[in-house]
A and B are shown apart, each in its own frame.
Chain A
Amino acid sequence: MARLGTLERSIMDALWRHPDGIFAHDLAAKLPSQPATTTVLTVLVRLGNKGMVTRERVGRAHLYRAAVDKDAVVAEAMRAALDDAGDIEGAVQRFVGTVSPEVAAALREALDARESR
């Protein structure tokens, strides 16, 4: 499970480094863990099903590209945890929401007062 996640990440990283697209066997060769091309293809198909990867037939092989850029993925991951919607769904458990600057200042004061006691 953890290894598959690592592979997904390194494949997406490689795709982000090659915005013009890359063939699966070239991609496999570039990965430090040296996975088999078939393994890479399996992950690519799965990532494609999840809307992360697109492909285009070039000659007899497929040229793979990232369907979303990394900033968008990070933004979506952050949004799910920051949004009110994510909170209402209860899908993730975030550490804390935000308070107004005034409340934050008051809380900090209370903390400092306790420290100096």
Chain B
Amino acid sequence: MSPWLLSALVALLPMSLSARLARAEWTWRHPRAALALWQAVALSAGLGAITAGLVAAVAPLDAVFPHGMHTFVRGLASGHGLHGLGWAEFAALAWSAGVLVWLVAHTLRASFAAMAERRRQRLLVDVAAEHLPDVDVYVLPSARRLAYCVPGAGGRVVLSQGAIDSLSAAELQAVLNHERAHAKGRHDLVLLPFVALSRAFAWLPFARTARQAVAVLLEMIADDHARDPIPLARALVTMAQPSPAGALGAADAGVVERVGRLVARGRDAVWWVSVLVYSSALAVLSGPVVVLVAPWLWWDCHPSADLLSCVPD
């Protein structure tokens, strides 16, 4: 197996650590760094899956991937099409294209679904909730305890009357800071690729684990915008209790961890852990990125020269 193919395939390996990463306690202390690591693992897996197919497809043309890629592109450009590719290489190429199209299609689908859902949600909030202009909060007349934000342009922070009635002023402020942090940080955009991933590869445990873990990390990042952690922790416990009006909400995996880190001051980052995690993220990404970028860097003639006139070695 060529080192090129190997480095593309190795990019898929970190996915197997996802269950352990999702459980790791250091991620609660370093939610931002952990988020970057999840992003790197997911991106490198996607790039690795696409790149591996490309490398396998052009392998018969040249043992060195960039040269093979150049020969392949030159063949395409001069009208030879996929001539000279065996069925195995053709299948590898189709795999790459398929993965890419599948991912892009699901990302687009998830974006449109979220946009439509938010448009509907904004309309519902606009007609049914009372807007408090001085704090810019929308209040839904319901006894159920609920707080959420509709992200995006023209986003809205929504509280139910039940939530307002059961929280103290400091707790309410903490909840508002939390929701505004979501809106301001565009956490919806951070989450979107993972939603798309969990849709595109619903059978892949990594996709589900990542979707869940990233959501919890985003909550922790938003939690860190509270000035005083204790009112926020109190608000979390109050709001997480099943409402008297009936428990409709889904069980939330992140509540215990979030309260725990707020109460135990488990939010103090250790600098070398952050450095280590960010470096790991870079290392994870470097393999497939190097392979993908190599054909563009590894020219045998001046980069400004015509593509077709460049001859390998």
Residues of A within 8 A of B (CB): 1-2, 5-6, 8-9, 12, 47, 50, 52, 70, 73-84, 86-101, 103-104, 107-108, 110-111, 114-115
Q: Which of A76, A96, A110, A114 contacts B124 (CB 8 A)?
A: A76
Which of A90, A99, A115 has a CB less than 8 Å from the CB of B195? A90
26 contacts between A and B (CB under 8 A): A5-B126, A8-B126, A50-B123, A70-B128, A74-B141, A77-B124, A77-B140, A77-B158, A80-B120, A82-B146, A87-B250, A90-B114, A90-B188, A92-B148, A93-B148, A93-B151, A93-B187, A95-B239, A96-B252, A97-B254, A100-B251, A104-B242, A107-B240, A108-B237, A110-B263, A111-B233
Cross-chain contact B131 with A6 (CB below 8 angstroms)? yes
B79: interface (CB < 8 Å): no
Supposing A8-B123, A97-B240, A114-B263 touch, asked if A84 and B250 sit within 8 A by C-beta, the answer is yes
**Contact present for A103 and B114 (CB under 8 Å):** no
Cβ–Cβ < 8 Å partners of A12 in chain B: 127-128
Most interface-central of A88, A89, A96 (chain B CB within 10 A): A96
Provide the residues of chain A in CB contact with B140, threshold 8 Å. 74, 77-78
Question: Is the pair B255, A107 in contact by a Cβ cutoff of 8 Å?
Answer: yes
4 more contacts with CB within 8 A, not counting A74-B128, A82-B146, A93-B182, are A76-B124, A81-B146, A92-B121, A95-B148
Choose one: A5, A9, A77, A100; the contact of B121 (CB below 8 Å): A77
Complex interface: chain B residues within 8 A of A99 (CB): 240-241, 251-252, 255-256
Whether the Cβ atoms of B142 and A74 lie closer than 8 Å is yes
Among A75, A78, A97, max chain B CB count under 10 A is at A78
B185 to chain A, nearest CB (A): 10
Measured between beta carbons, the chain A residues less than 8 angstroms from B158 are 77, 81
Q: What residue of chain A has the Cβ atom nearest to residue B178's Cβ?
A: A95
Choice from B160, B215, B237 contacting A78 with Cβ under 8 Å = B160
Are B117 and A9 touching (Cβ within 8 A)?
no
CB distance from A87 to the nearest CB of B (A): 6
B247 at the interface (CB under 8 A from A): yes
- Which B139-191 residues have C-beta < 8 A from chain A? 140-142, 144, 146-151, 154, 158, 160, 175, 178-179, 182, 187-188, 191
Minimum CB distance partner of B264 in chain A: A114
Provide the bound-state CA to CA distance between A49 and B256, in Å: 43
B247/A91 in contact, CB under 8 A = no
List, in ascending order, chain A residues with CB within 8 A of B236's CB: 95-96, 107
A5, B133: Cα distance in complex, Å: 12
Asked whether B234 is an interface residue with its Cβ less than 8 Å from the other chain, the reply is: yes
Contact B240 A96 (CB under 8 A): yes
* Alpha-carbon separation in the docked complex, A82 to B239 (Å): 12
Q: Is A78 a contact of B142 with CB atoms below 8 Å?
A: yes
Chain B residue nearest in CB terms to A80: B121
A93 in contact with B179 (CB, 8 Å): yes
Cross-interface CB contact of B151 among A5, A73, A79, A92, cutoff 8 Å: A92
- Chain B residue at smallest Cβ distance from A15: B127
A5 to B254, CA, bound (A): 34
Closest CB of chain A to B203's CB: distance in Å?
Answer: 16
Q: Which residue of A lies closest to B174 (CB)?
A: A95
Is B237 within 8 A of A52, CB to CB? no
B121 CB contacts on chain A under 8 angstroms: 77, 80-81, 91-92
Q: Return the chain A residue nearest B249 by Cβ.
A: A98
Contacting B127 at CB < 8 Å: which of A52, A84, A90, A111?
Answer: A52
For residue B248, CB closer than 8 A to chain A, the reply is yes
- Given contacts A89-B117, A95-B239, whether A77 and B251 have CB atoms under 8 Å apart is no
Q: Which residues of B contact A83 (CB under 8 A)?
A: 248, 250
CA gap between A8 and B154 in the complex, in Å: 15
Q: How far is the CB of B81 from chain A (nearest CB, A)?
A: 41
Q: Is residue B73 within 8 Å, beta carbon to beta carbon, of the partner chain?
A: no
